[in-house]
Amino acid sequence: MSAATASSQMPPCSFTPQPYMGPSREQVLADRQRYLSPGLITYYKNPLLLVDGHMQYLFDETGRRYLDLFAGIVSVSCGHCHPKIAKRVQDQVGRLQHTTTIYMNPNVTELAKKLASKLPAGLEVAYFTNSGSEANDLAILMARLFTGNRDVIALRNCYHGASGITFALTSHHTWKYTAAPTDQIHHVANPDPYRSLYSGTPSEIARKSVDEMKEALLYSTPGKVAAFIAEPIQGVGGTTYGSKEYLKLAYEAIREKGGLCIADEVQTGFGRTGEHYWGFQNFDVLPDIVTMAKSLGNGAPIAAVVTRKEIAETLRQRLHVNTFGGNPVSTAAGLAVLEVIEEDGLQQNARVVGAQFKQGMEKLQKKHQVIGDVRGMGLMLGMELVKDRTTKEPGREQTAALHEGLKEHGILVGKGGLFGNVLRIKPPLCITKADVEFTLAAMDQVLSDIN
């Protein structure tokens, strides 16, 4: 199928990008290879040059349109260049671009107040940072100061960021450098029922995983645990999560030893899972600290740690400021994001369209043996490809082929999972039923070609 034919079948879009007048794709690629760190990866055999965006769509330098099902790795929740968010940011840049936390600004306090209104009672004190890595780093610092302990429990196959402490927390081997500090960080069983080392029902696997955590608390961190940090649904790890009781049992085990529970909502928050505003609410737990980023700014650099007052008070032990935390421009974007999620009904759209998407992939699973598992909630979905459903041998090559094939249809998706064999689907929450039908048809065609 030609690019033109594939693109013409995409649902209509009223937006027309301006003609691109910048350097050629070849020049940008050459300059990137020369002047940017070689550690920065690109997707696809022929990397994309993206120059325009509108809601759920992206455009390359030729004007070709792509349906974005990865949302800048879940950074763009409301849609690329959403007009209300763009205007709010533009207005703020023209008035005051920067101030630090040693001065007051209305945006900062208003955003903290609105975030508190979206969280359960008691979680009402915010600290703004620039990234999810910084937020998780700060959450661990708060937990250690509050408990007086240093040991931290995390899950295998997790991803919590790219700073020193968050690299230590991360156990996903694709991302973690061996030079990352690992002292007083302990990883325990992931309750993912599809690839667990334990056997049994999802509930039995969850309980066995918690039993392993209890052993770690008894022998590896006796009386010294500061915190347990977990994504309600692992993002980079391949959209994995345990049965509903897992987090409740894990939280109980940590709290019995005096530790705090941290919910990393960097990828699950802000209505993405559909039924609830926050991922942890799907599992009936109440964390002590919640971290969030990405979607909060719809692409603007902002993150936050929200916790109880007595935990936040620990930072008063020393003089503490943050140069860019709560930047007026980023907080203006955050305020607009919270409004747009409500006004555009994006959480409900994630629930309805996400259910349609998941059901469609489950139908494809019945047709294509290469699909080993379909999972997720709302518009946080995963499709795991395998060479054999019985052995669950990872289908890396098939995943790569599907990834490339969907691009030829004008569809951008992510890859992840422990073996790089999971298609990660996390689009802007504004995608439509027509976008989903178009994607499912393209998936069916590419999978048929692979088979």
Tokens linked to 212:
């392993």
Q: Where are the beta strands (DSSP E) in 12-109?
A: 50-54, 57-60, 65-68
Most distant CA pair in the chain: distance in Å?
Answer: 63
User: Would you say 384 and 422 are in contact if contact means Cβ atoms under 8 Å apart?
Assistant: yes
Strand partners, 126: 306
Using DSSP's 3-state secondary structure scheme, residue 29 falls into helix
What sign has the CA pseudo-torsion 14, 18, 19, 23?
negative
Tokens linked to 164:
């020193």
Q: Of the candidates 88, 78, 89, which has an alpha carbon nearest to the alpha carbon of residue 55?
A: 78
What values do phi and psi take at 151, rounded to 5?
-70, 140
Q: Of the candidates 135, 76, 119, which has an alpha carbon nearest to the alpha carbon of residue 324?
A: 135
Q: How far apart are CA 376 and CA 383, in angstroms?
A: 9
Q: What is the pLDDT along the chain (451 residues), one digit of tens a residue?
A: 444 344 448 999 999 999 999 999 999 999 999 999 998 889 999 999 999 999 999 999 999 999 999 997 778 999 999 999 999 999 999 999 999 999 999 999 999 999 999 999 999 999 999 999 999 999 999 999 999 999 999 999 999 998 888 888 988 767 667 766 777 999 999 999 999 999 999 999 999 999 999 999 998 888 899 999 999 999 999 999 999 999 999 999 999 999 999 999 999 999 999 999 999 999 999 999 999 999 999 999 999 999 999 999 999 998 888 999 999 999 999 999 999 999 999 999 999 999 999 999 999 999 999 999 999 999 999 999 999 999 999 999 999 999 999 999 999 999 999 999 999 999 999 999 999 999 999 999 999 999 7
What's residue 171's pLDDT? 81
Q: How far apart are CA 214 and CA 51, in angstroms?
A: 50
The predicted model scores a pTM of 0.96
Q: How far apart are CA 206 and CA 193, in angstroms?
A: 8
Tokens linked to 168:
């230590």
Q: How far apart are CA 115 and CA 331, in angstroms?
A: 11
Q: How far apart are CA 45 and CA 59, in angstroms?
A: 18
Query: Cα 176 to the chain's mean position, in Å?
Result: 17
DSSP one-letter string for 345-402 = THHHHHHHHHHHHHHHHHHHHHH-TTEEEEEEETTEEEEEEEEETTTTEE-HHHHHHH
Assign a CATH topology to domain 85-343: Aspartate Aminotransferase; domain 2 (3.40.640)
User: Would you say 357 and 379 are in contact if contact means Cβ atoms under 8 Å apart?
Assistant: yes
- Ranges in the chain annotated CATH 3.40.640.10: 85-343
Q: How far apart are CA 443 and CA 447, in angstroms?
A: 6
Q: Of the candidates 134, 436, 144, which has an alpha carbon nearest to the alpha carbon of residue 293?
A: 134
Strand partners, 389: none
User: Would you say 162 and 133 are in contact if contact means Cβ atoms under 8 Å apart?
Assistant: yes
Tokens linked to 424:
């990660």
Strand partners, 306: 126, 290
User: Would you say 356 and 433 are in contact if contact means Cβ atoms under 8 Å apart?
Assistant: yes
* Chain segment 156-213, per-residue pLDDT in tens: 999 999 888 888 898 876 766 776 677 799 999 999 999 999 999 999 999 999 999 9
User: Would you say 271 and 373 are in contact if contact means Cβ atoms under 8 Å apart?
Assistant: no
Q: Of the candidates 425, 371, 420, which has an alpha carbon nearest to the alpha carbon of residue 396?
A: 420
Tokens linked to 383:
């499709």
DSSP 8-state code for residue 418: T
